[in-house]
Amino acid sequence: MQAELSFIDLFLEASLLVQLVMLALLLASVVSWTVIFQRRALLNSAKTSLKKFEDKFWSGADLSSIYKELSARASSNGGVEQMFSAGFKEFARLRQSSSSTPDAIIAGSHRAMRVVLSREIDRLEHNLSFLATVGSISPYVGLFGTVWGIMNSFIALGAVQQATLQMVAPGIAEALIATAMGLFAAIPAVIAYNKFSTTVDKLENSYANFMEEFSSILQREAYANTDKAGQ
């Protein structure tokens, strides 16, 4: 309780600029933690959705049945499910056209899945740049507040005849709080950014691998239908 009161006292006794720096860093920290919890929930959901769909996809279920099931709940589909739906929908549409060659069908399906993949990665990476910004500039903002506070302390110290430790310590303590708050805002943001960036990269690789494997399946389907039509 005493530590909390002393912190509040030091904040109230700091100069206006140092107070503004502390408030800005506190706001950045609050927003960062909000983003961290949101991104964590979103990425966990994406990983869970990917695993469940891949288990179902590779279980040997009929592609048309999977597509119909996903179409019935399109609004709640995850990234890989949207990729599958877009690719299979384009595949079915182009296959009905008598002028479409197997290569054209596969290319069209691949393009449709690439568009969904790009949108999904953008969604997963949303606000990660904010965490990177907070992590990189917060220590410098805190250091600026510290330098400013210490400078004011020494200016005030020069106006007295005899300086004592009791006169210097409070001003320096006020200034150092700004650096501490800068580190408090930066460290979680940097850790979260690195972790989330790695997770997004892994998800992107998994999506890309699925897209290539699914394209291979559709290619076999397209050529099989062509051979049947030729017979």
Cβ density class 33-54: b for 16+ within 10 Å, e for less: eebbeebeebbeebeebbeebe
Q: Do the domain assignments include residue 102?
A: yes
Q: What is the pLDDT of residue 151?
A: 81
Nearest residue to 116 (alpha-carbon basis) of 143, 146, 87: 87
- Structural domain of 91: 23-148+175-230
Q: Do the domain assignments include residue 78?
A: yes
Report how many domains make up the chain. Answer: 1
Q: Do the domain assignments include residue 166?
A: no
Q: What is the pLDDT of residue 122?
A: 93
- Per residue in 132-156, pLDDT tens? 999 999 999 999 888 888 887 777 7
Q: Do the domain assignments include residue 116?
A: yes
Report yes or no: 179 and 142 within 8 Å, Cβ to Cβ.
yes
Q: What is the pLDDT of residue 222?
A: 77
Q: Do the domain assignments include residue 162?
A: no
Q: What is the pLDDT of residue 1?
A: 40
Q: Do the domain assignments include residue 164?
A: no
Q: Do the domain assignments include residue 34?
A: yes
Enter the pTM of the model: 0.81
As averages over each run of 10 residues, the pLDDT of the chain (231 residues) reads 56 77 92 96 93 88 86 82 90 79 87 93 93 94 86 73 66 81 94 96 94 89 63 49
Q: What is the pLDDT of residue 4?
A: 46
Rg (CA), the chain: 29
